[in-house]
A and B are shown apart, each in its own frame.
Chain A
Amino acid sequence: MALLQISEPGQSPLPQQHKRVVGIDFGTTNSLVATIQDDVATTITDDRGNHFLPSVVHYHAETEGGITVGSDAEKFITTDTFNTITSVKRLIGRDEKELKPLGNKCFYRFYTTQDGGMPYIQTCQGNISPVQVSAEILRTLRNRAETTLQGELEGAVITVPAYFNDAQRQAIKDAATLAGIHVLRLLNEPTAAAIAYGLDQNQQDQERLIAVYDLGGGTFDISILKLTKGVFKVLATGGDSALGGDDIDYNIARWVLDQSDLSTGEPDELSLRQLSRLTRQAKEALTEEEVTTIAYRGKQISLTRKQLHELTEPVVQKTLTACRRAFRDANISSDQIDAVVLVGGSTKMPYIQQQVEQLTGKKPLTSVDPDKVVAMGAAQQAHLLAGNQTADNDILLLDIVPLSLGLETMGELMEKVILRNSTIPLIKTREFTTGKDNQTGMVIHVLQGERELIKDNRSLGRFVLRNIPPMPAGMARICVTFQVDADGLLKVTAREKTTNICADIEVKPAYGLSDDEMKQMLIDAQVRAEADKHNRALREQQIEAEQLLEMLKTALQQDGKKLLSDPQKQEIEQEMASLQMKKTQTDSADELRSAIKKLQQLSEEFAMKRMNVSMHNMLSGHSVDEFKE
């Protein structure tokens, strides 16, 4: 092949191969992995040809340590509800307080440690962190990609809702680490979608304002981007990380229960889960028809399009309010928007498209599948970051922090250090002093959110500053530095300035996972990866044994009597029986491999004889000259 490749002088392809990198869209309902093949972003399918991996993880009770991910796990949703985790993206990075508003949309049994750490989900396999559940999904995508790309992944861009806070971002990154994925970058979903549309390619010199409306299963994002000559600058972002298409399904399900007189107050999760498929089908049917029927527990309930709109309305109104606020934050009016991009399965609903069009006065772009557009954009960014891209396709993303970051000050108030919608990366420093004579310690409480009172914002962590040199009150000058990197992740450091002594910083894991927990999970993951490898090797040998046995069985039936003496035949048959037994009994791939080899060697002569016979049969009646050409 290499000989057939001809390059123009000076344009020879780079000697190194493209790096194996992917983009991963970790979704509430479905997840996807995409890569660049022949300059085109394509989603990678599993061995059954499915693009989407349902974000469902089932923990088996009967087989110890058994975990199933994806469509095979879906069938356990109604039968083994508590051990089948769906929509884990709604849980990741959230503390107990933040899980409460999810109410019975999320009904797992949670286990929380007393020090206010992250909640775990109680399953038959013990307490599992949402980070671990997410890691299972990411690992499945990684395996899928490695099978298709035929080799180990060198990195991935993983998308997150733009409105995710620091705890949620960090948790996603931890999950990727557990899954053995090197994260090139966390990328905001709307930005990924804008890249996938190749919006930078058009009208290079003209400035364009793009709104990305992203209604996923469990999150809503609105982002306003300005494109100038290959630079994507995010001007403002807004949304709700606990609002999504699921809420529309929930409204429909509740309505159905009301109609069927089966409702007793708040619906329970089980009936909601049973209904979710039905309501989804109904929703899809109503894009074409004016009315559809839902068959539920022996009742036929008809749902009209008008009724559907009414049930959708509360969710849509919330999204439109967030849009208006984002326009305002970006200092633009809605009619200045040049293009609207739709992302997320829920935006396939014509009613939502109409509402967005009404708000912006622009017909939304839908030419790229709204379910795949994020993964495709992420793949392009991964390709670029890995250095696979040529220079003339160079684009730059300037993203922002979605929520303000700050510190606790007197009176339980939050003092903002970094304002929302500030461009990242960025570094900001604030100076503090001691309140008492000879004070040597200080607690720094880091928060994220827009509210005045600390209790209304998300606590990200408490830092204890020690070893401040003893000084009169007000003399120490403590510099606290906030650094937000391009992934949108925060790092806080502190230093006493007058003596230039770096005070010890102790980070208490108020969110995410502690280093020890991470370490243990990594060890567990390693053990599991090895078990996986072992099982795969064993399965391969089992298949090979089966094939050999099957082949020999047929061969013996055909030619056994003709070509072998009775003792020879017996010997082979004996060895076959022994391999058959070993195949079902042994746990060792090596043992099985040597048994296969033994049988192969034993039957080699028989195989040669059969080949000779068939050659002879083929050649008989022909003269050798016929084969000279």
Chain B
Amino acid sequence: MSDIAGSNQRKTENESELYPDFSQNYFQLFGLQEAYTISADELEKAYLTLQKQAHPDKFANDSRQQLVAVQYSSFINKAYETLCSPLLRAQYLLDIYGISVDLETITIQDHDFLMEQMELRETLAEIKESKNPQQELKNLMQSINEKITGLQHQFDDLWQNRNNESLTAAIPVLHKMYFFYKLLHEARIEEEQLLKI
């Protein structure tokens, strides 16, 4: 009991009460303009400033405030993680406009795209047996990255227009992005095996 009573007296000036607003969207939280293209530096700066205020370590003397801080600090971490990732950021922007996209249950009707995916996966599977697997893999990863960049530009254009039609058109772009990210992830695992790390 004495611990709680004592903690109020020990509170230093910079240790203020925490009243987090969990209803803010992630862009509002970091004071950023709602957009697909964002400045990584600005995001990082805002993130660190917020964590400096909200981290539970700042409330080590106050168990009640610390519970709030754990929630708030977790919220900030999740927001940061979402906005950092070009894939999650795209998904989140659509979500703000009421379009919830479940990336795990995807149906893509684009025949050409599916053919391309199958070819890329075959290339990846056969890379181990190629003459220069490391170089081949590097090339493959580069081309995947180029595809992703292209899709990001597409998404950004559609987002800038932001009408019913363009937002609907953005959904398959997001799906395709997800496919490529998954492929990139698998390529990285392959690379780890090649580098023996």
Contact = CB atoms under 8 A, between A and B. Distances in A.
A278 B168 CA distance: 73
For B15, B57, B70, B77, the residue with the greatest tally of chain A CB atoms inside 10 Å of its CB is: B57
Given A325-B197, A387-B12, A426 B57 contact: no
A324 B197 contact: yes
A230 to B, nearest CB: 8
Interface in B175-197: 192, 195-197
B10 A425 contact: no
B122 to A, nearest CB: 22
A486 B57 contact: yes
A486 B81 contact: no
A59 B27 CA distance: 59
Interface of B: 9-15, 44, 48, 51-52, 55-58, 60-61, 70-71, 73-75, 77-78, 80-81, 192, 195-197
A426 B197 CA distance: 28
Given A425-B70, A485-B56, A386 B61 contact: yes
A427 B71 CA distance: 8
B77 A386 contact: no
Contacts of B192: 325, 328
Contacts of A485: 56, 70
A321 B14 CA distance: 43
A486 B14 contact: no
Contact of A391 (B10, B14, B44): B14
B135 to A, nearest CB: 18
B52 A486 contact: no
B77 A423 contact: yes
A341 B14 CA distance: 32
Contacts of A385: 57, 60
Contacts of A423: 77, 80-81
Q: Which 5 A-B pairs have the closest CB atoms?
A: A385-B60, A427-B74, A324-B197, A426-B74, A486-B56
Given A16-B9, A391-B14, 18 more contacts: A185-B57, A185-B60, A228-B44, A229-B48, A321-B197, A328-B192, A387-B61, A391-B12, A394-B14, A396-B57, A398-B55, A422-B81, A423-B77, A423-B81, A425-B77, A427-B75, A428-B78, A483-B70
B61 to A, nearest CB: 6
A168 to B, nearest CB: 21
A132 B81 CA distance: 39
22 contacts: A184-B60, A228-B44, A228-B48, A231-B52, A321-B196, A324-B197, A325-B197, A386-B60, A387-B10, A397-B57, A398-B51, A423-B81, A425-B77, A426-B74, A426-B77, A427-B71, A427-B74, A427-B78, A483-B70, A483-B74, A485-B56, A486-B70
A441 to B, nearest CB: 26
Contacts of B81: 422-423
Contacts of A387: 10-12, 15, 60-61
Interface in A273-310: none
A479 B18 CA distance: 27
A495 B44 CA distance: 34
Nearest to B60: A385
Contacts of B80: 423
A328 B10 CA distance: 43
Contacts, number: 74
Nearest to B10: A387
Contacts of A394: 14, 52
B17 to A, nearest CB: 16
Nearest to A384: B57
A228 B13 CA distance: 23
Contacts of A424: 77
A485 B51 CA distance: 14
A483 B73 CA distance: 12
B29 to A, nearest CB: 15
Contacts of B55: 396, 398, 486
A422 B88 CA distance: 15
Given A184-B60, A231-B52, A486-B55, A324 B195 contact: yes
Interface string A421-464: 01111111000000000000000000000000000000000000
Contacts of A422: 77, 81
A324 B44 CA distance: 25
Interface string A374-398: 0000000000111100010010111
A16 B13 CA distance: 14
Nearest to B12: A387
Nearest to B52: A396
Contacts of B77: 422-426
Given A16-B9, A325-B197, A328-B192, A425 B60 contact: no
A428 B75 CA distance: 10
A394 B14 CA distance: 10
Nearest to B44: A228
A425 B48 contact: no
A305 B78 CA distance: 51
A328 B77 CA distance: 21
Interface string A213-247: 00000000000000011010100000000000000
A328 B189 CA distance: 11
B78 A426 contact: yes
A423 B82 CA distance: 12
A425 B197 contact: no
A231 B51 contact: yes
A229 B44 CA distance: 12
A451 to B, nearest CB: 13
Contacts of A233: 48
Given A184-B60, A387-B12, A396-B57, A425 B74 contact: yes
Contacts of B10: 16, 19, 387
A422 B80 CA distance: 11
A170 to B, nearest CB: 17
